[in-house]
Amino acid sequence: MAEPDLATAVDDVLAVDPETFQDRVHEDAETIMAEVEAGTFDNPQAIVGLEYEFYAVDDDGALARIPRRLLEYVGFEKELGLHNAEMQTFPDPLNDAGLQAQEASVRSRIDAAARPMDAEGLHLVSDGIWTRPPAGESTREYLTGKVEREGLTLATNMSDTARYHAMANTAIEPGMTIDVPHVSLEAETVMPESLITSIQPHYQVPRATDLPEYFRYAVRVAGPLLALGVNSPFLPPDLYEDVDPYAVLEDGYDEHRIDIFESVLNVPGRDGKVRFPEDVGTVEDAIMTIAEDDVLVPMAVEKTGRFDDEFAHFRMKHGTFWRWVRPVFEGASRTDANARIEFRPIPAQPTVRDSVAFQAAFAGLLEQMRQYEHPLYDLPWDVARENFYAAMRDGLRADLTYLTADGTETTEIDTIFGDLLEQAQAGLRRRGLTGETAARYLWPLRRRVRQEITPASWKRNRVREHLQDGADLQTAVRKMQETYVQTQRRSLLSGSFSDWFDTDGSARP
């Protein structure tokens, strides 16, 4: 979209009256509650899906913008930055065939995109955060680049989606800052959020009225699953202050993505729109939590012939309801209508198999824990929240508190993950998977626990080795990232992260 057209589109967004928009959201919430009562959102079985974000690099491993024509050609969707690409799988039943279909869909679409992207000298990377800016640019220049048009601030490296650009031009502006150990950055748009990428498993609950119980479990497994998945221990090294490189290793978080998303998009002085979610007592509470959330970008909606056009303003509002675990109510048709839980804490993983392992683990946990009333339900919410942010900081080294299947409180990592993965495997078996097949899906996560290695610790180990060999921080992070990208090209579709390390955690060539 040309800048004048984009400016007009942003102006159109800003012209929408927030109070009128919010009135329509409340009307839509009443519609959804009536449909819940009628059973419209119920399904005969649990269903799973996956959103998967990537960034692109050039042949040398530097961040690269993806031409829009190419993005459309390879069947991916645009995301915040010009370097981003996203895919969404079609929902499948939670069973052996369904999980196979999910994995096959991801593999086939990545594989199909590879040839045309290779021809352009571009490659998709599955990672939690990028660390090399485009060739010839600094990270700060890329993330803060902007133009002023007709009184509007437009990010120069952001996709031409009016909603993204409108966020920087509303009366209630997000923070648009990054403030993590040894890095501070201020921008005038939300473009710094494009540093990070994630996977987002979905679990459609069989009965919408039972969503609060599933949701309560999802909130309580968020910390432990995040601890297993951490994958963003370093920001681009040209952002770091003049600091001892070992201080970066010592003070940095294992999952900076969490803090970056919160600090860029939360409005200073208000309850965070991006935050660890509160429990919900009823499905009506879940609906109203979304309806009552702060209005950031009210937008006009267009009818497209979908069933959920009946609550289109609510769906639009939900687009800026950025809890780390969030309920979703939608459906293209009445028969497709569903209530589901979207699980957002996990960064993009080193391989497809690892990403699907998290999808399977999350679904298996909700299936098993709710059915058998696992005692984790009673873990206090504030402890679950502490677990989440401890996992953000320290990954598998975090101090976590957990309740096992027999109700025992524990802080022992082996006990926590022994029970967690046992419950996930049991849940998968309940859905018809053999013990062997369920174990195969979860094996990449078991291996991480046994070897006490996550993608974040793997990256830390590589950087530490390069520093010990005399490299400066910039060189150490660059060499680590080169190894990550090169190793991933060999294993993204056919391997797993456990193939990347020996039993002592050292990198394999």
Which pLDDT does position 360 carry in this prediction?
98
Which residues have C-beta within 8 Å of that of residue 11, sequence separation ≥ 6?
Answer: 150, 152
Distance CA 319, CA 351 (A): 28
Which pLDDT does position 232 carry in this prediction?
98
Residue 497's pLDDT band (cuts 50, 70, 90): very high
Which pLDDT does position 485 carry in this prediction?
97
If one counts the domains in the chain, the total is 1
Which pLDDT does position 95 carry in this prediction?
96
Average pLDDT over residues 106-118: 95
Q: Is residue 52 part of a domain?
A: yes
Q: What is the maximum alpha-carbon separation in the chain?
A: 67
> Above pLDDT 70, what percent of the chain?
98
Q: Is residue 507 part of a domain?
A: no
Q: Is residue 92 part of a domain?
A: yes
Report whether pLDDT(176) > 80.
yes
Concatenating the DSSP letter of every residue in 430-485 gives HTT--HHHHHHHHHHHHHHHHHT--HHHHHHHHHHHHHHTT--HHHHHHHHHHHHH
Report whether pLDDT(444) > 80.
yes
Range(s) of the domain holding residue 42: 3-500
Element holding 113 (H helix, E strand): helix 96-119
Residue 132's pLDDT band (cuts 50, 70, 90): very high
Q: Is residue 324 part of a domain?
A: yes
Q: What is the dihedral of CA 302, 306, 308, 314, to 10 degrees?
A: -20
Residue 506's pLDDT band (cuts 50, 70, 90): low
Which pLDDT does position 371 carry in this prediction?
94
34-64 per-position pLDDT tens digit: 999 999 999 988 999 999 999 999 999 999 9
Average pLDDT over residues 12-41: 96
CATH number of the domain bearing residue 471:
3.30.590.20
Q: Is residue 509 part of a domain?
A: no
Q: Is residue 10 part of a domain?
A: yes
Q: Is residue 508 part of a domain?
A: no
Residue 3's pLDDT band (cuts 50, 70, 90): low
Q: Is residue 345 part of a domain?
A: yes
Which pLDDT does position 509 carry in this prediction?
40
